[in-house]
Amino acid sequence: MKVTTIHHLVKAGDLNHHGTLFAGRTAEWFVEAGFIAAAGLAQPENIVCLKIHGMKFSHPVPKGAILCLESRVVFAGKTSLVTHVESEYNDQIVLEGFITFVNVDENGRPAPHQLSINAVTEEERSLQKQARQLIRS
């Protein structure tokens, strides 16, 4: 599974009232990272975000941090693509979750994308299993 990496500098305008990275800004970057991974496999103009599955923070991120977000497509349904996004700061995972995107036609209706994702490593198989469960729920 191809990993896509993007970076963002956390600036003063990205902070919440506690002086740490605002969840709303993080959600924007989170979806952007997932979209870029999905767009690497399908036509970007045909991809729309359907659902964010549990964007979970485990540590605060301060102003001045350079946040690295890594994303990859871990599951492909008939019309859907599920990405996993993970972010590290100071060698700790600070954010993790999944996003479901749908491939649509020119009328905005779900359309088959003809893609498949092969999990090779144990980590990839685990992420794919989690994604399948999310799709079913």
Please say if the pLDDT value at position 62 is more than 90.
yes
This prediction's pTM: 0.93
CA dihedral sign of residues 85, 87, 93, 95: negative
pLDDT at 137: 77
Domains in the chain with CATH codes: 4-136 (3.10.129.10)
User: pLDDT for 80-99, tens place per residue?
Assistant: 999 999 999 999 999 999 99
* Pairing mode of beta strands 47-57, 66-76: unpaired
Report which of 32, 27, 45 is spatially closest to residue 4, judged by C-alpha positions: 32
**Dihedral (CA of 114, 1, 54, 46) sign:** negative
